[in-house]
Amino acid sequence: MKIFLAGKIDGLTLRESTGWRRYFARALSDRKDIEILDPTRDAHLFTKGDVADLFYNKELAASSLQANHEDIRKSDLIVVKLDKELGIGTLLDLGGARILNIPIWGWGLYGLEVLGKSFALQECIEKVFLTIDDLIDEIRKTPMRSN
């Protein structure tokens, strides 16, 4: 099973954008049947100071976005961190996954608030969890389809 980790990157520090993704990957590292597809793999290359700035290196950002789209096509599940604001890249990722009928699960303190503001997001996101650990527990006990 391949899981793509969607969520805001641009405007966040590397720690903010990669911290939860690394935690998620470590928590499931014992599962050899799970491959984590992480869009922050190149984030350090388009940072200005310690903050991700996609306009800092547009060419690299464009190739990174293309790699994300390819990863989404290969994914069996999209996991998205639901912050107060979702970045445009996150919205594009979710829209692409929805078109491809890839399940999307979200987590975060603002999950229900974010979904309450957008019918489109309500239609995209199948399950919402309060914490990342709740989501990880659900992945551990739910059989998943594989592409």
pLDDT at 53 over 60: no
**C-alpha distances in Å from residue 92, one per residue of 4, 124, 145:** 13, 12, 23
- What is the tens place of the pLDDT at every residue in 6-18? 998 877 777 888 8
Lowest mean pLDDT among 49-58, 62-71, 97-106, 138-147: 49-58
In order of their start, the domains of the chain are 2-141 (3.40.50.450)
Return the closest-CA partner of residue 3 out of 119, 122, 107: 107
